[in-house]
Structure 1
Amino acid sequence: MPRNVEIKARVRDWERTLQECCNQSKTAGELIKQRDVFFNSSHGRLKLRDFQDGQGQLIYYERPDLVGPKLSDYSISNTTHPADLERVLTQALGVRGSVVKERLLFLVGQTRIHLDKVQGLGEFLELEVVLTDSQTLQDGDIIAQNLMKKLGIQPDDLITGAYMDLLKGQHTTP
């Protein structure tokens, strides 16, 4: 199962953070519109990501709800029929809720930086350090910590859980 080290943080200064993401990646970022539908799951989290263009991904992941860098194990299956898949999964499992966001994607080395505007929540940043088979959690943690410093992420900006959890009021943000 692929693994990454992930952090999620509230963005307090969008323009400054955007500029630093552009500086670090040497790009303007890629705009991606997403609607994530979370399904009831007895283990981990299961979501269908609809890219609003006929493409989607079914994503299952397990990640502890901790502040700061944390290990995430995940599996992804691509689909060209997200609406059909959503209908079947809704009937089989029931829907926990959905998250609508606009995401700017930046790539820095082996790290995906997501600068997100989430409907009903606000502005956030996610770092996903994609680990190779030979890398440890500690290797990913070092990479994440270094990028957090460069991007100006403070410890009190870090949040736990998923956007879905925040929307449901199960976690709080700083």
Structure 2
Amino acid sequence: MPSNVEIKAKVDNVGHLKKLAGALCDSEPVVIHQEDTFFNVPNGRLKLRKLQDQKSQLIFYKRSDQSGPKFSDYNISYTNDPESLEKTLELALGIMGKVKKTRLLYLVGQTRVHVDNVDGLGNFMELEVVMKEGQSVKEGENIANDLMNKLDIQNGDLITCAYVDLLIKNKS
């Protein structure tokens, strides 16, 4: 199963973050509009990601809710009919919540640096160190920590949960 080490953080100064990420990246960021629908599942998370001008993705992943770098393994299936798949999964599992965001994707080595503007939440940063075959989790954590420092992300900015959890908390 593919895996990564990731961190997620709230961002107050998105302009500063974009400048730092741009300096680390060899190319311009890619703008991605995403709508994620999360389904009720007994373990892990299951989301249907709708992307503009690309195949949609059904993504299952397991990740602990903790601050700082965390290991995540995942599996992705692709679909050309996300609406039908969403309806089927809604009927079978129920919808937990939806997240809409505009994402800037910067590629830094083996890491995807995301600068996200999440509808209803604001600005966030997410690092995903895509693990290589045979690479240890510790190596991934070291890469994430190094980039966190280079991007001026403080421990107090880190969040432990998914955007959908924050949206659900805000509603209650």
Q: Does TM, scored on the shorter chain, surpass 0.5?
A: yes
State the AA in 2 paired with 1:100: K
Q: 2:137, 2:169 → 1: CA distance? A: 29
Aligned match of 1:89: 89
TM-score (norm 1): 0.95
TM-score (norm 2): 0.96
Q: Deviations for 1:32-60, whole angstroms, at most 9, x for unmatched residues?
A: 00000000000100000001336200000
State the AA in 2 paired with 1:28: E
What is the deviation of 1:81? Answer: 1.1
Name the SS of the counterpart of 2:72 in structure 1. Answer: strand
Name the SS of the counterpart of 2:96 in structure 1. Answer: strand
What CA RMSD, in Å, does the superposition of the two structures yield over aligned residues?
1.1
Q: 2:127, 2:137 → 1: CA distance? A: 14
State the AA in 1 paired with 2:101: K
Contact 2:32 2:52 (8 Å CA) reproduced: no
Q: 2:56, 2:127 → 1: CA distance? A: 21
- In structure 1, stretches of 5+ residues that fail to align are none
Aligned match of 1:36: 36
Aligned match of 2:20: 20
- Going from structure 1 to structure 2, the CA distance change for 1:54 and 1:4 (only over 3 Å counts) comes to closer
Q: Percent identity?
A: 52
Alignment of 1:11 with 2:11, yes or no, is: yes
Q: 2:162, 2:77 → 1: CA distance? A: 20
Name the SS of the counterpart of 1:90 in structure 2. Answer: helix
- In structure 2, stretches of 5+ residues that fail to align are none
Aligned match of 2:64: 64
Name the SS of the counterpart of 1:168 in structure 2. Answer: helix
Number of aligned positions between the proteins: 170
Aligned match of 2:128: 128
State the AA in 2 paired with 1:136: S
